[in-house]
Amino acid sequence: MNYKIEKDKIVISDLKTFDIKSILDSGQMFRYRLENGEYVVQSCDKVAKISYIDAKNVVLTSKNLNYFAKFFDFDTNYDIILTELSKFNFMAPALKYSCGVRILKQDALETLISFIISANNNIKRIKKSVNYICEHFGKRLEDKNFAFPTLEELSHITEKDFVLAGTGYRAPYLVKTVQKLCSGFDLKALEKMPTEQAKKELLTLPGVGPKVADCVLLFGLRHKKVFPVDTWIAKVYNDYFDKNEQNRQKMRSHLVETFGDLSGIAQQYLFYYKREN
């Protein structure tokens, strides 16, 4: 990844594997907006602004440059990943279309709460709910930005509050999951566990099913051998592997077996390509 950290900005010049629109629109996160030609990205209590200098260079400005260098995974060589995945011939269209996508390294708590809200939901409603929670229960930052609530702040949100945030039937799940986290469930510890063990632990949390668990493992806990299966990935599986298979657990297991440590990023390339096309 070609990038340079300067005093108050990062200049990114390797745009083949960094396309900010593709990254943000690929379903990994929900706190971002396009404002006056500039992307505003929020994570925890940190904010970055990203814009194009020209066709070959992007600039990221923030008070937390090192945080966002890790957040966007700048030190991973995605050219190597693309080369490895190109061995799967059916991946060619997805790799060409989605090569600017990167797996974000997000905060585990924010990822967990956001993806419980995401279950059987759409992007517009998810973003609205997550932003409501930040604006009403998180710390106010500069401009129009708000921090994602800490666990302590989340513990004061009632089921009624979550309903007012538009989370619907997920509201009681959110309250109960926050209670479990406050009672000693160590979310961060799951990062160091074997993937299957970590997934079993996540599935004990209210509102967390297999797809949500895989998303939290991939986007919030740095696990690579996971393949979240939603409607779009199910269509991919039926197109390229078995047109008659309907069991998503079987799809998930076969896909992880096929892609191994490249499962997470392969999923993201295929998901974004299929949904956009």
Entry pTM: 0.97
Question: pLDDT value at position 14?
Answer: 83
The architecture CATH gives domain 3-75: 2-Layer Sandwich (3.30)
User: Which pLDDT tens digit goes with each residue over 77-120?
Assistant: 999 999 999 999 999 999 999 999 999 999 999 999 999 999 99
Backbone phi, psi, residue 140, to 5°? -75, 135
Question: pLDDT value at position 128?
Answer: 98
Per-residue confidence band for 187, with pLDDT thresholds at 50, 70 and 90: very high
Residues identified as active-site = 211
User: Which pLDDT tens digit goes with each residue over 251-269?
Assistant: 999 999 999 999 999 999 9
The architecture CATH gives domain 77-99+225-277: Orthogonal Bundle (1.10)
The fold for domain 108-220 equals: Endonuclease III; domain 1 (1.10.340)
Nearest-5° Cα angle at 25, 23 to 30:
100
Q: Helix (H, G, I), strand (E, B), or coil: what is residue 146? A: strand
Give yes or no for a contact between 273 and 91, defined as CB atoms under 8 angstroms apart. Answer: no
62 membership: H or E segment, kind and range: strand 57-62
Q: Tell me what the pLDDT averaged over the chain comes to.
A: 97
Question: pLDDT value at position 1?
Answer: 82
Domain ranges of the chain: 3-75, 77-99+225-277, 108-220
